[in-house]
Amino acid sequence: MKVRMVSTQKGSPNGIAIKLYTKGKVYDVPDELGKVFLQESWAEKLRDVEKKTVKKALKAAPENK
């Protein structure tokens, strides 16, 4: 699962090693870890972030008349 971190957090992608996940960066994490990040609102699912970016761009684009 690809996520963009909303806040900097530590997490373990394999249940052994602990890794620092930095705010604003995109990571490909195991589904279990991604679900925790999403439930705690520490990250946004990348697909959701991409949709927001497209909507924002469409609103900002000038209309053709």
Question: How far apart, in whole angstroms, are the C-alpha atoms of residue 43 and residue 15?
Answer: 19
What is the reported pLDDT for 64? 60
Number of domains in the chain: 1
In a domain, 45, yes or no: yes
In a domain, 14, yes or no: yes
Question: How far apart, in whole angstroms, are the C-alpha atoms of residue 61 and residue 27?
Answer: 29
In a domain, 65, yes or no: no
What is the reported pLDDT for 47? 79
What is the reported pLDDT for 60? 65
In a domain, 42, yes or no: yes
What is the reported pLDDT for 59? 65
In a domain, 54, yes or no: yes
Segment-wise mean pLDDT, segments of 10 residues, the chain, 65 residues: 96 96 96 96 83 61 60
Question: How far apart, in whole angstroms, are the C-alpha atoms of residue 16 and residue 18?
Answer: 7
In a domain, 39, yes or no: yes
In a domain, 43, yes or no: yes
Domain span at residue 45?
A: 2-60
